[in-house]
Amino acid sequence: MARKKNFDPEATLLLAVELFWKKGYANTSLNDLVEHLGINRFSLYSTYGDKKNLYHQALNYYIDNVSTPALAQLLAADPELDDLQNYFSYFAKLQSSQTSGCFVQNAILELSLIDDTVSEAGNRLYSLILKAIENVLANAQQKGQIGSEENIKQISQFLLLQIQGIRVLGKAKQYHVLDGAMQIISLYIKSLSVTK
């Protein structure tokens, strides 16, 4: 008969996200995990597998439960250009409170060249962000709010590039640079509208 767990695996996974986010994969030891998660090594291994598997689970949990919900309004059935503007404003402000940067971006920079699972997770998030932005722009174009000549795919790729830049500037605590750049991004999004 399997032993009953005396801890909440999801709550413990959240603690793993927190620790890996702060320290990175390489700088997080098994002892760090045992201490921070409040479980013994046997429980860690029997529930999550090894350290790498736990890291992969934490990364995908973060994408599913933090990144994806933040894009919900952009992925809705009838999003507005203002929703895209609001997302960028929210995202830029978020950087001042995320002193360790973005968990997914940190993972990509640390491990994507040597870990296919991390690379796939990053690609999944990028695809989701592109889909969300394209959804807003396609909806606006269908309503005649954006000119039919605008290349929605390329605009979405450009805006994804800006999101990545916002993440880097936030981690580097370049808030004044970020504030200035956000004014231009805001003007750019507004300039897309033919009804401005």
Domain boundaries, the chain: 1-62, 71-196
When pLDDT is cut at 50, 70 and 90, the band that residue 51 belongs to is: very high
> What average pLDDT does range 37-51 have in this prediction?
91
- State mean pLDDT over 147-163: 96
C-alpha to C-alpha distance for 59 and 82, rounded to whole angstroms = 30
Q: What integer pLDDT is reported at residue 99 of this predicted model?
A: 80
Q: What is the pLDDT of residue 100?
A: 85
User: Greater confidence, 35 or 4?
Assistant: 35
**Helical residues (DSSP H) of 24-151, grouped into ranges:** 30-37, 41-48, 51-62, 68-70, 81-94, 103-111, 116-142
Identify the band that residue 5 occupies on the pLDDT scale cut at 50, 70 and 90: low
**Angle of helix 9-23 relative to helix 51-62, nearest 10 degrees?**
90
> What number is the average pLDDT over the span 28-48?
92
Alpha-carbon distance values, 188 to 59, 67, 133, 184 (Å): 32, 24, 14, 6
Decide if pLDDT at 33 tops 80: yes
pLDDT at 65 over 60: yes
Residue 153 has a pLDDT of: 97
pLDDT of residue 2: 46
pTM of the model: 0.91
* Percentage of residues in the chain having pLDDT higher than 90: 85
DSSP bridge pairs for 146: 193
Q: Does domain 71-196 have CATH number 1.10.357.10?
A: yes
- Are 189 and 85 in contact, with CB atoms under 8 Å apart? yes
Architecture of the domain defined by 1-62? Orthogonal Bundle (1.10)
Phi then psi dihedrals of residue 89, to 5 deg: -65, -45
Tokens read off for 85: 């503007």
For residue 6, the model assigns a pLDDT of 72
- The answer to whether residues 84 and 146 touch, using CB atoms and an 8 Å cutoff, is no
Nearest to 121 by CA among 132, 111, 133: 111
For residue 98, the model assigns a pLDDT of: 84
pLDDT above 80: residue 109:
yes
pLDDT of residue 154 exceeding 90, the answer is yes
- Which range of 2-16, 38-52, 119-133 scores highest in mean pLDDT? It is 119-133
Copy the structure tokens of residue 192: 């897309």
Average confidence (pLDDT) over 23-36: 96
